[in-house]
């Protein structure tokens, strides 16, 4: 396991990951479908709507512990995920047991919120979680941490870099984050990843078709049936919609690699070396050696968000990341 950077809690993060499988595709698929849930009888959900602007309302589900919270954790899901994603459910449950409040955020149009948002989300859209953090900060309910999975991890790290030193965010954790968007999108075009690519592209195109009925002035379905790759989708839909021009420019400007040097809050980054969707070379970025705020944990195995461990501690990432958050809170 590779670990770079220094934090006051480095000794707590030494637990080796012992995968339930070694095949990265099996881990990726199992991690996506493994049953996980929040005990809502003990930690009931409060539905919160965050008004971002006249055409954008975000839906989040908030849970608080029974006693005064030690802090707050805001979760950002991955591509075509939602607030109910399994990775978020198990982490949120563990965080609540440890005394943290949690906020499961649906990105724009996700989790059945297409009628609440005129525009969709993208891989670098940091204005929305920032607005949520601002409202949490005004409530004075403890330090806030942002935890992002996959695409949400890129958003989380980019936001941390944009904020630098800020009272809005006490720390950030990114898991299986595609910090070099262009490289990761190209990775999905490999023959071994064709099932993932087809699933992502299919879901994204269906979303655009649904949105075209709600906002025909923004979304066109012309040529959509010819889209076969994520790059083509972003070139035809995402980049023009958000003013990036081309997919290449979108990836270049929105990748977290541009912002790693500017992160000043404690940041924990976890990515498996065998992640089938993320070329690990992206994590050779010099910031992981030069920026003391960053800590990288890179197990040999884990697939993409597939950190299922042998033994009783099934959800390895949850424990490692929460130990790290505990340490940041105690040292702060």
Query: What DSSP line would sit under 107-170, residue for residue?
Result: PTT-SS-TTTBSS---TT--HHHHHHHHHHHHHT-S-EEEEEETHHHHHHHHHHHHH-S-TT-S
Asked whether 294 and 266 are in contact (CB, 8 A), the reply is no
For 189, the domain range is 182-254
Query: Residue 131 sits in a domain of what CATH number?
Result: 3.40.50.1820
pLDDT above 70 coverage of the chain, percent: 95
Domain end residue (candidates: 215, 233, 254): 254
Give the pLDDT of residue 15: 63
My answer on whether 190 and 313 are in the same domain is no
Tell me: pLDDT of 113 over 50.
Answer: yes
Count how many domains the chain has: 2
Tell me: pLDDT of 193 over 50.
Answer: yes
Tell me: pLDDT of 236 over 80.
Answer: yes
My answer on whether 66 and 17 are in the same domain is yes
pLDDT digits (tens, 9 = 90+) for 204-219: 999 999 999 999 999 9
My answer on whether 125 and 53 are in the same domain is yes
Give the pLDDT band of residue 229 (cuts 50, 70, 90): very high
Which CB contacts under 8 angstroms, 24+ apart, belong to 37-45?
37/89, 37/93, 38/63, 38/89, 38/92, 38/93, 38/96, 39/93, 42/66, 42/96, 43/93, 43/96
Domain end residue (candidates: 229, 254, 279): 254
* d(C-alpha 320, C-alpha 91), whole Å: 10
Asked whether 293 and 4 are in contact (CB, 8 A), the reply is no
- Element housing 74 (H / E): strand 72-76
Give the pLDDT band of residue 81 (cuts 50, 70, 90): very high
Give the pLDDT of residue 53: 94
* d(C-alpha 122, C-alpha 120), whole Å: 7
Give the pLDDT band of residue 332 (cuts 50, 70, 90): confident
Give the pLDDT of residue 313: 87
Give the pLDDT of residue 178: 98
A 10 A CB-CB count for 213 gives: 10
Q: In whole numbers, what is the pLDDT of the chain averaged over residues?
A: 94
Phi, psi for 59 (deg, rounded to 5): -110, 130
Tell me: pLDDT of 9 over 70.
Answer: no
* d(C-alpha 73, C-alpha 64), whole Å: 10
My answer on whether 64 and 193 are in the same domain is no
My answer on whether 249 and 299 are in the same domain is no
pLDDT digits (tens, 9 = 90+) for 123-171: 999 999 999 999 999 999 999 999 999 999 999 999 999 999 999 999 9
Asked whether 17 and 302 are in contact (CB, 8 A), the reply is yes
pLDDT digits (tens, 9 = 90+) for 244-265: 999 999 999 999 999 999 999 9
Does the pTM exceed 0.75?
yes
My answer on whether 317 and 225 are in the same domain is no
Q: Taking residues 8-37, what's their average pLDDT?
A: 81
| C-alpha separations of 140 from 92, 106, 143, 240, 325 in Å | 20, 22, 8, 39, 18
Give the pLDDT band of residue 4 (cuts 50, 70, 90): very low
My answer on whether 168 and 70 are in the same domain is yes
Give the pLDDT band of residue 1 (cuts 50, 70, 90): very low
My answer on whether 124 and 49 are in the same domain is yes
Asked whether 301 and 17 are in contact (CB, 8 A), the reply is yes
My answer on whether 86 and 154 are in the same domain is yes
My answer on whether 168 and 189 are in the same domain is no
My answer on whether 85 and 161 are in the same domain is yes
Domain end residue (candidates: 196, 231, 254): 254
A 10 A CB-CB count for 78 gives: 28
């Amino acid at each position: 396991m590779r670990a770079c950077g220094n934090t006051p809690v480095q000794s707590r993060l030494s637990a080796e990951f012992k995968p339930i499988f070694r095949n990265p595709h099996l881990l990726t698929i199992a991690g996506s479908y493994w049953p996980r849930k929040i005990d809502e009888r003990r930690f009931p959900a409060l539905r919160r709507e965050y008004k971002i602007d006249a055409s954008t309302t975000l839906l989040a589900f908030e849970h608080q512990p029974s006693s005064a919270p030690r802090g707050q954790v805001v979760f950002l899901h991955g591509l075509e995920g939602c607030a109910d994603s399994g990775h978020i459910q198990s982490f949120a449950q563990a965080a609540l047991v440890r005394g943290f409040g949690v906020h499961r955020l649906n990105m724009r149009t996700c989790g059945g919120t297409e009628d609440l948002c005129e525009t969709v989300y993208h891989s670098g859209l940091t204005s929305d979680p920032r607005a949520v953090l601002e409202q949490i900060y005004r409530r004075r309910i403890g330090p806030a941490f942002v935890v992002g999975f996959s695409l949400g991890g890129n958003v989380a790290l980019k936001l941390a870099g944009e904020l630098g030193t800020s009272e809005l965010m006490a720390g950030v954790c990114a898991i299986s984050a595609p910090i070099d968007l262009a490289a990761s999108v190209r990775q999905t075009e490999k023959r071994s990843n064709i099932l993932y690519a087809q699933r992502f592209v299919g879901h994204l195109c269906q979303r655009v078709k649904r949105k075209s009925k709600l906002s025909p002035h923004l979304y066109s379905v012309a040529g959509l049936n010819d889209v076969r790759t994520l790059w083509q989708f972003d070139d035809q839909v995402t980049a023009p919609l958000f003013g990036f021009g081309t997919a290449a420019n979108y990836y270049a400007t929105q990748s977290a690699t541009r912002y790693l040097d500017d992160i000043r809050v404690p940041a924990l980054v976890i990515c498996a070396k065998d992640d089938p969707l993320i070329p690990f070379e992206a994590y050779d970025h010099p910031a992981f050696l030069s920026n003391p705020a960053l800590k990288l944990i890179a197990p040999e195995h884990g697939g993409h968000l597939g950190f299922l461990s042998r033994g009783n501690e099934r959800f390895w990432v949850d424990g490692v990341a929460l130990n790290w958050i505990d340490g940041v809170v105690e040292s702060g």
